[in-house]
Structure 1
């Protein structure tokens, strides 16, 4: 394949429908999705009397499709391209609870239920073992985007937030993202296991173990040919595979998310909305600007959507009528994505190739070992000549032993070479005939999958051709027959018109619904912003706020407002600051940022009013309100203790007997017995 690149190719889109869940079956939900894998089409019908909506994709899989067939027919060719030096991306999109994580990961302990990621591990290392005269280096990284913050899932410090950077040669990358060299399937699976333990998951009404973040597992495969008979260094090709498990799109009205979960859902929906805007801009053809910078997810997927990568999108849907709107939205989303054009190219001899560094270091160490070996041979021959010419009194003594430090240094060099070479992978010495048979089987599987795709396309073209040809060949024997035929066509066209109108209505409702959700999100964010602004205005001293404003500067690279260190601020007055020594003519970007900061501070000084009333908060002594003498007397009378009472249980009925008060000194009350012996039940 040409290293310069190939012609443009479309993003491949496949759709997978999960089976009805136990909860849906118990609730007697109706199935609204009909799959046709042979033709690659899907029909979705809201009600029995409604016109169905039809979509066509590169491939569709129903609940009966096994994981292995899904991988071999759809994803295996893309991973093969990565092994040749192309960039590749596989990402799963869909509503919460539709099986995205199952499709991407599956059950790793069950070979029949393993998902795309474990199967790609087996595929990559199996290919390396069967390769001949090639040297490979495999490394893995794992990150997540949680609430618009990037986190390294396999780093020791999980609290550290990473930043996105962009370079002309390598494009967008995550600075300080850790990368682990992997020599086997077991090692790369261990990396993924550690990362999964650190992922953000939560429970919602839609899914008990919902992914609350976007996760990207990155596999970088570098390789070079060892049989190139040239004086130049061997060509190195680098392929990068992005395996993306997107967080589920969801409606808060169905999830009943509150608190932290609600904030997570807001961030998830905003990033997925940004992804949809990128897809729409790429497909539109009229848009001069593609909003990649609207979210960190779209910036990381910039090469995958409209860039130089081979990309497959798998849309996961549910069959129940309860999720009709979400399923229809996903299908429309996927239908737009299949019109995106990419221009894949081979990554040849990149500057940051780690394999070349390993090869250079190994060659240098081997050269040092060879020189040590030559010196050792010379010293041994010198010792032998000395022993032959020595006096007979020295007979029986062995040759002089080499220096112990020299031996230790040589052993260290050899151990270092062995350690570096262990990181480089290549084919093992196995029977070539078996290798050839396995390669032939892989080619045959690829050919079968390609043949199925061609058959689906031919069926679609044949149907269109027959429909247009039937109109041309029609001959009418009478005017009535022509009227009937054209009336039938008009009815058919009218049905299409009605379906188009319904689609427009559905799209308008969907747009309005998304707008309302975005407005609700905006309202929540505005409330939070107002709260923070109120705290700043009322609880932060004016002098401290002025200091903070004097340090604010906008970073063009990260597109964030940053705080300059105090060393760059020579005094505390608003709008006066010293230019950092680096901000001179030799650093124009820093100078421009400094000028922008000055303009911002001047505008802030002219617009912000810091003349706030300072409230001195202190504890005051409490003084009760004045009370009139009459009210005091009434309160005093009501606060007198009640007389003690005793219940006489010896009577036929319970009697209330008044006890003598302390003032009467043992004498009974002068009240009549009839009053004191009133029944409790009267």
Structure 2
């Protein structure tokens, strides 16, 4: 299908407090295998933002399905076009102090890893990650050269989500599972995660290369080097200014998701099948999260159903500038997967994130104080007019002190302002501590008054009552401890049961898929087996007939051999028989036995001297003359001799006068 050659413009709209996720679609070219298999291209780009897909497998008259995204990159788009389109804008926002996320989604073999990583040895084929690294340190170098008071700190971590377990790709033990936590102060974070501080792009390249080497990969029918895990590269950039309290922190998440798979196409089994099941399960949860975020009626977003979605919580519906690149394959063989990816991306573009600049608490206090100063300046101008007005004869002393305070703040330098704010913050904290302490003191005083008031009630012994209550309290405390212990045991049992249930469900799903696949193969092989059985039966019948024929031949030959042996033993002396055998040779050309010098035998000499007719008569009366026999002549005479052999044999030996001449 024809495509228009499009070039993507940089996606850089103005940021607001609520900013939608931006979605870009990238179409890879047809692979050599797809071209050899004569698959057709079913994707058309009518506009830089529109993509159409046509179903050629069922009905050629079906109308194409059209989708609209922030940008659509065709087969001719280069890696540089991809980065300039949606990578550069996100990285620039991170350098300004915002959070940013770029993640690639699509079926297996659609080009996600190539989009994110590319080929590091060839700069023209760099993906999002190496281009972002180069961009970050180039910007840092330019900023520090321009202003020596600015300095940056870059920290990097690299994790993968493999079989719903989080692994640290930069750790020596990169197969150990880590836990993920969330709190109001730090947000979502991975406990005991390794972090490296890098000072150059080369350092960051080496770190990412190490992580990619430790990442789980495998081979399937659709992809020789298929990613078997979701990888998340986390780069944190902190910006400081010397002599100022301003600190800005931006976090960049670069996510390479593993591709969705169909077992019937990838041909996975065993470990690969379990990996595919976990990948599809986590992507399904990601789909649920996206659906819940775009549904206005939804009251719950299932981030915690998967470690992948919990890790990306800030990127999906949180404080982040997020771009999703949906990678699709253009062949009609992948129609279902491509359509599913486009629908997935179409839902994601409606997610709204709440983007905020990441400032430190001191930055916020400074900005708040600066606003107060502007307000006070306005008040000062108004009060100055009142003070300078000659018609005003009396001004309150408090009002004069307030005016002087406003003028003093206005004349403060930045350093004095910072010191003043620090002192003010400490003073406010001290006042807060004093207020809390006073409240606690008042509370204790009230309790003491209550105790004194009820110290004596009639003649009741309060000490004994206190002991009883203390014993009862200890008993209740013991019961609570036992109940807590029982609850923990039950929680552990529940956890193990849930884990076993998940394993059983995965195993059942895997076995069911394997049964379905083998059933399909069995149905295909049954007709072949039937034809093979019929051919085998026909061959067995033919073989039996052939064996019977050969047995008959053997019997016939045995009978003839017995006849020939009997003839030789009765009509040819033993010494002459040995002489004949000694002079017999096999002629390959005539295919019969010949006797050397047979022309000198008596019969041949007699045949030359007498007419053939008299020779025949003479032969009837001279049985003692030796002749030369061939196999054919023996066979012709064998029939006549069989009847004669039934008669008593004549005990007469032929004369040796006509012996064979050598």
Residues 226, 283 of structure 1: alpha-carbon distance in 2 compared, 3 angstrom cutoff: same
> Which residue does the alignment assign to 2:142?
130
Which of 187, 196, 201 is the equivalent residue of 1:185?
201
Matches within 5 A, 1:417-436: none
Are 1:22 and 2:38 counterparts? no
CA contact (8 A) 1:37 1:61 kept: no
Secondary structure of residue in 1 paired with 2:51: strand
Which of 10, 19, 23 is 1:13 aligned to? 23
1:146-179 per-residue CA deviation (whole Å, 9 max, x = no partner) reads: 1011111110122321101111111110000000
The change in CA–CA distance for 1:350 and 1:36 in structure 2 (over 3 A counts) is: farther
Q: CA deviation at 1:273?
A: 0.2
| Inter-CA distance 310–600: structure 2 relative to 1 (3 Å threshold) | closer
> TM-score w.r.t. structure 1 length?
0.51
Could you tell me which of 348, 351, 354 is aligned with 2:359? 348
Match of 2:279 among 259, 262, 268: 268
Question: SS of the counterpart of 1:263?
Answer: helix
Who is 1:34 aligned against?
A: 44
Structure 2: how far apart are the matches of 1:337 and 1:322?
A: 25
Bigger share in helix: 2
**In structure 2, which of residues 99, 117, 121 is the aligned counterpart of residue 109 of structure 1?**
121
Does structure 2 conserve the Cα–Cα contact (< 8 Å) formed by 1:278 and 1:292? yes
| Structure 1: distance between partners of 2:119 and 2:127 | 7
Q: Name the structure 1 match of 2:316.
A: 305
- Partner Cα separation in structure 2 for residue 153 and residue 603 of structure 1: 31
Q: Distance in 2 between matches of 1:119 and 1:350?
A: 32
Instruction: Measure how far apart 1:596 and its partner are.
Output: 2.7
CA contact (8 A) 1:37 1:59 kept: no
* Structure 2 residue 340 is matched with structure 1 residue 335: no
The 1:225/1:36 distance shift into structure 2, 3 A limit, reads farther
Counterpart residue number, 2:488 = 597
- Determine if the alignment matches structure 1 residue 74 to structure 2 residue 112: no
Query: What CA distance in whole angstroms lies between the structure 1 residues aligned with 2:183 and 2:267?
Result: 42
SS of 1:34 mapped into structure 2: strand
Offset at residue 35 of structure 1 (A): 1.8
Where in structure 2 are the equivalents of 1:637-676 lying within 5 Å? Answer: none
Distance of 1:68 and 1:159 partners within structure 2: 34
CA contact (8 A) 1:37 1:62 kept: no
Find the partner of 1:277 among 272, 275, 288. 288
Counterparts of residues 490-639 of structure 1 (less than 5 Å):
594=485, 596-597=487-488
Partner in structure 1 of residue 104 of structure 2: 92
Query: Relative to 1, partners in 2 of residues 1:601 and 1:78: Cα closer, same or farther, differing over 3 Å?
Result: closer
Instruction: State the partner residue of 1:321.
Output: 332
| Deviation, structure 1 residue 260 | 0.2
Whether 2:183 is the aligned partner of 1:167: answer yes
Q: How big is the shift at 1:350?
A: 6.9
Q: Structure 1 residues 592, 272: CA separation in 2 closer, same or farther (over 3 Å shift)?
A: farther
Q: Which runs of 5+ in 1 are unaligned?
A: 229-233, 352-580, 605-651, 654-682
Distance 1:301 1:24, change over 3 A: same
Distance 1:197 1:279, change over 3 A: same
Q: Give the equivalent residue in structure 1 for 2:52.
A: 43
Deviations 1:191-235 (A, max 9, x none): 01111111100000110000000000110000112364xxxxx21
Distance in 1, Cα, partners of 2:189 & 2:284: 22
Kindly tell me: are residues 37 and 141 of structure 1, through their superposed partners in 2, closer, same or farther at Cα, counting changes over 3 Å?
Answer: farther
Deviation by residue 1:426-458 (Cα, 9 ceiling, x = unmatched): xxxxxxxxxxxxxxxxxxxxxxxxxxxxxxxxx
How many Å apart are 1:593 and its aligned residue? Answer: 5.5
Equivalent position to 1:56, from 64, 68, 73: 68
Once the two structures are TM-superposed, the CA of residue 73 in structure 1 deviates from its matched residue by: 2.3
How far off its partner does 1:34 sit? Answer: 0.8
C-alpha RMSD of the superposition: 2.6
Please say if residues 159 and 169 of structure 2, whose CA atoms lie closer than 8 Å, have aligned partners that are also in contact: yes
Q: CA deviation at 1:77?
A: 1.1
Tell me, in whole angstroms, the C-alpha distance in 2 between the residues paired with 1:8 and 1:126: 30
Which of 145, 165, 171 lines up with 1:155 in the alignment?
171
Decide which structure has the larger Cα Rg and report it. Answer: 2
CA distance in 2, matches of 1:225, 1:54: 50
1:602 Cα shift? 12
1:209 aligns with 2:225: yes
TM-score (norm 2): 0.53
Q: 1:226 aligns with which of 239, 242, 262?
A: 242
Deviation at 1:256, TM superposition (A): 1.3
- Name the CA shift for 1:33/1:350 in 2 (closer, same or farther; >3 Å): farther
State the alpha-carbon separation in 1 of the partners of residues 314 and 477 from structure 2.
Answer: 35
**What is the CA distance between 1:6 and its match in structure 2?**
4.3
Contact residue 17 and residue 356 of structure 2 kept, 8 A? no
When the two structures are aligned, how many residues end up with a matched partner?
A: 363
Q: Which of the numbers 159, 164, 186 marks the counterpart of 1:143?
A: 159
Work out the CA distance in 2 between the residues paired with 1:201 and 1:36: 36
CA, structure 1 residues 598+248, in 2 after alignment: closer, same or farther (shift >3 Å)?
closer
